[in-house]
Amino acid sequence: MSSPAPLLSKRPLEDDDEAPPVKRGRGKPRKHQNATPPMDPNMPKRGRGRPRKDPNAPPQVSKDPTTPSRGRGRPRKDAGVPPSALTAPNTPSRGRGRPKKDAASKASNAPSRGRGRPKKSGATLPLISPASGTTKRGRGRPRKSDAALAMAPHADATPKQGRGRPRKGTTGTIPSGTPQASNTPARGRGRPKKIDGTANGAVTPASAKRTPKSNSIPGPKLGDIIGAYAIDCEEVEGNWPDAAEEMAIDISALPNTASSLIASFNLGIFEGTMLLAAHADTLERVREQMMNADAPGPDKATAPTLEDRTVYFTWRGRETGEGEIHPDTRGTQTGILQFTNDKCTSFKGLGGFPYLGEECAFRGTRVDDEPSGEPEPWSNFSEDAYEEARRNRWG
C-alpha cells in the first residue's frame, strides 16, 4: 500500500521552476528578506494621531504684546479698543438685571406711582363750592335741568307717561297732545270684526248674515237601490262552479213602509228572500214584525238616507240541492251591502251563509233599474215550513 502524498505549498515567486517544493507551515508567512527598506533610515517612525509640526518650519510672527490674547467664544465688540476707553472713568459698571432707579429721583418730593390706573390731576377737575347749592353728581344718567323742564310745552297739563306701552281707548289727551273722542269704544284684542252697512245706515256684523254650513254631505236614499243586480262570488265559483251561473239579487219595495225593502236572491247554493234597511235597529224591528206575517205594520216613515252608502240585510232561504230551509231562528243570517257610489250602480257585500262562512264576500253590479221578479213571501221560510220540508224529504 502506497503512502499518502505530502502536502505541498505553492512555490515562492522568486523560486525558479526547478526549485524543489517546500512544506508550508502554519500561521502568517514571514516577510521576505529582500523586501524594500524604508525610504529614510533616519526618519522617526510615525505614530498614531495628528502629526507633529515641522521643526524646520520658520517661527511664527509674535503678536503685539499690548494685544490681549483671544479666548474662546465670540469676540468682543471693538476688539482693538481697550475696555477702559469704552466707558467713562466715573461710570459704574452695569450689572445684570433691571437697572436701579436714579437716587436723585428718590430724593425729590414727587410721590411714587403705585400700581393701577393713575389718578386724575386735581388741577383739571372743577372745584364745586358747597355754598353754590349745586348737588354732587352721583352715578348714572344726569337729571334734566329745571330750565329745560320749564321750557317744555304744556308741562303743567300733559300727564306724565309711565313705563311701557300706553293703554288703548283712554279718554282725554294722549302724550302728543291730540284729543281723543270720549265716546269711541275701546278696541279689544284680536282681529276687528267685519261690518256691513244696511240700507237704513245701521251697522251689523257680517257674521250675522252667514248661514251655518253642514259638515255632512247628503247621500243616496234607501229607495235609490231598487233594481236588478248580477252577483259574483269567488267562494261559490271556486267550489260549486255549476251553481254559480245565475246568481242575482232583485230589490223591491216593501208594502206598508218606506223604511225598509225586500229582495229575492240567488247565491248559487242558496236562494230565498232578504229584508233590507238603512239602520240595524230598523231592520231588527221589521224582522220581529214579520215573524208571523208577510209584511210589517203600516207606518208614516219616509225613505231614510244611507249613511256611508251602507245597507243592512237579513235573509231566509233554502238550499238549491236538497231543499233544506234555513229560517234564521237565532238571527245570525245577516250582512251588509256597501255601495261604491251615490248612483248605487255597484256594491260590495259581506254576509254569513252556511258552508260559505260567517264573512262571505260577494260583489253586485246593477243590470236594470227595475227588479226582474217578485220575491217569495217571508213566511215561506218559517219554522213550520222547515218542518214540512223535512218530512217531505225523509217521509
Rounded to two decimals, what is the model's pTM? Answer: 0.47
Torsion sign across C-alpha atoms 184, 189, 191, 194: negative
Please count the structural domains in the chain: 1
Q: Is residue 50 part of a domain?
A: no
Asked if the model's pLDDT at residue 357 lies above 80, the reply is yes
Q: Is residue 373 part of a domain?
A: yes
* 265/375 Cα distance (integer angstroms): 8
CB of 265 closer than 8 Å to CB of 317: yes
Q: Is residue 124 part of a domain?
A: no
The CATH number given to whatever domain includes residue 299 is 2.40.128
For residue 12, how many C-alpha atoms fall within 13 Å in the half-sphere facing its CB?
Answer: 13
pLDDT of residue 214: 45
* 246/231 Cα distance (integer angstroms): 8
Q: Is residue 109 part of a domain?
A: no
- The region of weakest confidence among 82-86, 303-307, 342-346 is 82-86
Q: Is 335 helix (H, G, I), strand (E, B) or coil?
A: strand
Q: Is residue 385 part of a domain?
A: yes
Quick: pLDDT tens for 363-391. Answer: 999 999 999 989 999 999 998 889 988 88
Q: Phi and psi at residue 231, in whole multiples of 5°?
A: -115, 140
Q: Is residue 305 part of a domain?
A: yes
pLDDT of residue 282: 93
CB of 270 closer than 8 Å to CB of 376: no
Quick: pLDDT tens for 200-241. Answer: 444 444 444 444 444 556 789 999 999 999 999 999 999 999
pLDDT of residue 129: 47
Q: Is residue 181 part of a domain?
A: no
DSSP 8-state class, residue 204 = E
* 390/27 Cα distance (integer angstroms): 139
pLDDT of residue 29: 67
Mean pLDDT of 303-323: 93
Q: Is residue 167 part of a domain?
A: no
Asked if the model's pLDDT at residue 328 lies above 80, the reply is yes
pLDDT band at 295 (very low <50, low <70, confident <90, very high): confident
Range of the domain at 273: 222-394
Q: 57-66, 85-94, 178-187 — which one is most confidently predicted on average?
A: 57-66
